[in-house]
Homo-oligomer: A and B are copies of this chain.
Amino acid sequence: MPLGSLRPSPLVEQATEHLREQILGGRWPVGTRLPGETALAASLGVGRSTVREAVRALAEAGLVKSRQGAGVFVISTEPQEDFRAGLRRAAVAEVYEARAVLEVQAARLAARRRTDEDVAGMVAALAARRLASARGDAAFVDADMALHAAMVAGARNSVLTDLFAEFAPVLREALASLTGVLGLREADPAAVVSAIASGDGPEAAALLNAEFSATLTRLKGAP
């Protein structure tokens, strides 16, 4: 069962996911021994070191444990992976869409609940974003994310705030290399902030939704 000869992703990741599926699928129950490194390598059509790195990743994920001289043993078949791990594996467009789902409604709530301090935070983040616009992509994306975090914080819901914090690192990484293509600098978040500040929830939601939709079509158009 050799892995595809084409290489859309690193071989190690392919091997890791392949083995993960087998384990989660119940091919090797808890306590059983996996085939040896050389056997797995031959079966997957990759080198031994590739298999070793895949097994190392599964060990870090808590699915297997290797004992020198004995073999690699399954210690769990539960998809113990936390939400964060799934996020990193998901396609950028899906992550971005989920982020849009979260933020559009959060903006609506923020318009009703934001305190004056929240507004001050958004205004400050807005200014920082404007400054960062002239700097590198990474700095700009950081400032942009900080602004959006401030807007979500205005919703005064700790679950939503934590959730956005989950998305932040993945989004930052994905967007930093795409700022040029996506035209993030052309967006006008000031209007959204003023809508939230003035308590106009539907307006804030509509503005954000339009921006996210435009970015999303660009994202799907040009990978």
| B60 adjacent to A61 (CB under 8 Å) | yes
One of A91-99, A119-127, A193-201 contacting the partner = A91-99
Contact at B97–A65, with CB atoms within 8 Å?
no
Main secondary structure of the interface of A (DSSP, over half): helix
In the complex the two chains form, is B98's CB within 8 Å of A163's CB? yes
Is A188 interfacial (CB 8 A cutoff)? no
Interface pair A159/B90, CB less than 8 Å apart: yes
> Cβ of A166 < 8 Å from any Cβ of B?
yes
Q: List A residues 52-92 near B (Cβ within 8 Å).
A: 52-53, 56-62, 65, 68, 75-76, 80, 82-88, 90
Query: A75-B169, A158-B90 given as contacts; is B83 within 8 A of A62 (CB)?
Result: no
Bound together, the chains give a CA A30 to CA B85 distance in angstroms of 18
Report if A83-B173 is in contact (Cβ < 8 Å); known contacts: A57-B56, A157-B97: no
| Distance of A101 Cα from B109 Cα, bound (Å) | 9
Q: Is A217 an interface residue (CB 8 A)?
A: no
Could you tell me if B106 and A158 are in contact, using CB atoms closer than 8 angstroms?
no
B88 near A62 with CB under 8 A, answer yes
Given known pairs A57-B59, A98-B163, A101-B106, the reply for A84 and B86 (CB within 8 Å) is no
With CB as the reference atom, state the residue of chain B lying closest to A99: B159
Residues of A whose CB lies within 8 Å of any CB of B are 10, 12, 16, 30-31, 49, 52-53, 56-62, 65, 68, 75-76, 80, 82-88, 90, 94-95, 97-98, 100-102, 104-106, 109, 138, 157-160, 162-163, 166, 169, 172-173
